[in-house]
Amino acid sequence: MPKRDIDKERVRISVAPPPNSALKQVDDVFILITQAFCPNGHSLISTDSDLFDGQPGVKVYLECGSESGYVVLSPFHGDASKKGKLDWPDGTRVKVCCPECREPLPKMASCRCPGDGDLVKLFLTPSLTDSHVLAMCNVWGCRRSHTINNWQIISEYLDGQIED
């Protein structure tokens, strides 16, 4: 996320998530997403058998042209693993939606990837506030993302450094 897109009034950088968070630190290394919601409050955590190291993934509905369907993303922040039958060439911009209501996930900021994507928000609490979000790029193959919890940047995964 470019520095100019950071809300410097509210967002701070933190080492670990607070104890009552939707994020869990595993083995002092991994950040695990334990709950996520669409703008209408539907859970995005997969209830199917799509597990990543024994943990349920984050299920989204993707659309691009005439192709659409479900993809389950790894709940481990920074892990690009996904399960589903869809596949596009890297750099393809997709529409990321809730798998239940098909509401598009809202834009948080622009992504500086070559695909000119947007970072879209997955809310980490049922209160659906911007103080608790996972932001991920809507360009297939882009791995830029970050988590904000209680206005603190807990985890980032960027190709390169944050730039001005």
> What does the pLDDT look like over 30-39, one tens digit per residue?
678 889 999 9
Domain ranges of the chain: 3-157
- The answer on pLDDT for 76 being more than 60 is yes
- The answer on pLDDT for 164 being more than 60 is no
Task: Report the pLDDT value the prediction gives residue 127, as an integer from 0 to 100.
Answer: 92
56-75 residue pLDDT tens: 999 999 999 999 999 999 88
Contact of 164 with 4, CB cutoff 8 Å: yes
Least confident of 15-19, 29-33, 58-62, 151-155: 15-19
Residue 147: pLDDT band by 50, 70, 90 thresholds?
A: confident
Contact of 108 with 100, CB cutoff 8 Å: no
Q: How far apart are CA 5 and CA 86, in angstroms?
A: 31
Task: Report the pLDDT value the prediction gives residue 19, as an integer from 0 to 100.
Answer: 59
Cβ within 8 Å of residue 110, ≥6 positions away:
2, 5, 116, 117, 118, 119
- The answer on pLDDT for 139 being more than 90 is yes
- pTM of the complete model beyond 0.85: no
Percent of the chain with pLDDT over 70: 73
Task: Report the pLDDT value the prediction gives residue 2, as an integer from 0 to 100.
Answer: 42
Task: Report the pLDDT value the prediction gives residue 16, as an integer from 0 to 100.
Answer: 55
Q: How far apart are CA 127 and CA 17, in angstroms?
A: 18
Q: How would you classify the pairing of strands 107-110 and 95-97?
A: unpaired
Task: Report the pLDDT value the prediction gives residue 13, as an integer from 0 to 100.
Answer: 43
88-99 residue pLDDT tens: 888 999 999 999
Residue 115: pLDDT band by 50, 70, 90 thresholds?
A: confident
57 is written with which tokens?
A: 């993934």
Q: How far apart are CA 25 and CA 30, in angstroms?
A: 6
